[in-house]
Every structure is written in C-alpha cells, then in structure tokens.
Amino acid sequence: MVSWVITGSNRGIGLGFIRKLSSDPNNIMFALTRSKTTSTALLVLESKQKNVHVLQADITDVASLREVATVVDNATGGTLDVLINNGAYLSPERGDWSLDMYEGNEDLLDEDCTNFFKVNALGVIKTINVFLPLLRKSAEKSLAKVITISAPAGDLDFNIKTDLYYFAPYALSKAAVNMVAAKYTARFKNENILFLSLSPGFVDTMGDHRGANDVQKATYSKLIEQFQAGYPDWDGKILTPEESVTAMLETVSKLTVKDSGAFISHYGDTKNWL
C-alpha cells in the first residue's frame, strides 16, 4: 500500500487528487479538510471508497495536525509515503490590488500578508514538521515525497513577462513556499526524501466559473489576455482540476531525489507554467 496525505481535499485540485488516486486499491488516502460539514463530495467519496479516510484538520493548527498524524500513524504502522500540501488561502478581496495601492492602507497590507503567509507558507511548514517523522520512516525503504502545490505567481519571470502586478500578497506567499522546499532539501539532502514545489498550471477550480461573481469573471478574462500576451503560443485553455491532477501525477511518478528543492510545472519543466 502507498499512503498519501493530501491537505485541502474538499474541492478543486485536492478533491481531484483524492478521486484519481483512490481508484487504485493499492493507495490508502488520508484526505484532510478544515471542515467535514462543508465537504459533502469528499464524504460521499469516502462512503464509496474503502481506501479513503476523511480527517478534519486546519493546517495552521498544530494540535489538529498532530491528532490527524496519530490516525495516519496507527493506520500505516508509522509511515507516510507521500504528503501533498494542497491547502492554500486565496481571498478575492483586493485581488486586483498592486503593492503601491497599499499606500495609506498599511493596516490592510499587514492583514493581507499575514493571512496569506499564515496559511500558504507557515501552514505548509507546520504540516511538513508534523508528518516528517512518518515520512522519514518511509524513506528508510523507498523515496518519500513532499509535494507542495505552488503557482506560476510564485515565479519571478512569469510575473514580469505577464505584467501580473496584482494578487500581490498571494504571489509573495507562493514565492516564499518555493523557498520552503529548498530549505527542507538543504536540511535533509542525505535522506531519501524529495521536497518539491509543483505548479498545477492555470486551473479552473470554480468549475467553468459557476458561482463566480462578475468581478471574478472579469479577473479571469483579464488574466487570459495577459497570459496570452506574455506567452503567444499558449492556446488560452484553462485546465480542469482533473486535467491538472493527471499531468501532475505523471510528473510526480518520474521524480527522483535529485529533483528535490526545485519548483517545476505540471509538465515537469521549469518555465512552461501554462
């Protein structure tokens, strides 16, 4: 059995991972969600798939993470093969703000950066630290993997090439979490553990924009125009969560410990973000 812990599993990419991986009976899935009561699709999947276990935990709350780690420990005999850090924070509020727009709004700057870093960087560190003993035990037999879902917004060249001046605090937090993988790699480079930042591509996590308000729809359209201007060869297609997950898992299956510390795309390269 291959054991997987996936955070942020209640929707979008996280739910896509659980659906795809649970179809293989050789996988045992631990799906982490902040709230079981709002994870209807995930609970339905758990009721149908014996290898899916839905667990409630907030990645910013170490106590809840430790409770979940104990469940995983007992179920696997003390090991964990793959940790996918998918849980993240992306607030639509001030999503179209550039950094200079915080002039005179420094309290909002503090609030936004704190919220994004608390989840997208610090939450990932806390999650890795809690599950690290189980991963190190797994690494004694085969390559253990820690995959953190990042974003093109965390790449310096991409921001400049596409004039992506907004989503500023989010982009800062994603750049920071890319460094997290490098730091863990430097610390555990002599152990059989891979730490990687992985971009999922440009994914429609709202399902063809259902439920999106007018501002969000306009933002999607603006992003497509800017991305096409920066990458003229891109066809403008937004990936479904299923398409993104399929591509990412194919890339993950080919990784070796030599890839540790990198930030790569769902295609397995370093700049083909779309």
Torsion of CA 101, 106, 112, 115, to 10 degrees: 170
The active-site residue out of 137, 170, 220, 237 is: 170
Annotated catalytic residue 170 = yes
CA–CA distance, 260 with 176 (Å, rounded to integer): 16
Annotated catalytic residue 166 = no
CA–CA distance, 7 with 84 (Å, rounded to integer): 7
DSSP-assigned states of every residue in 219-251 = HHHHHHHHHHHH-TT---PPBPHHHHHHHHHHH
DSSP symbol at 260: T
CB distance 149 to 85 below 8 Å: yes
The active-site residue out of 102, 126, 166, 174 is: 174
Angle CA(227)–CA(235)–CA(203) in degrees, nearest 5? 65
CA–CA distance, 24 with 203 (Å, rounded to integer): 24
Catalytic residues: 170, 174
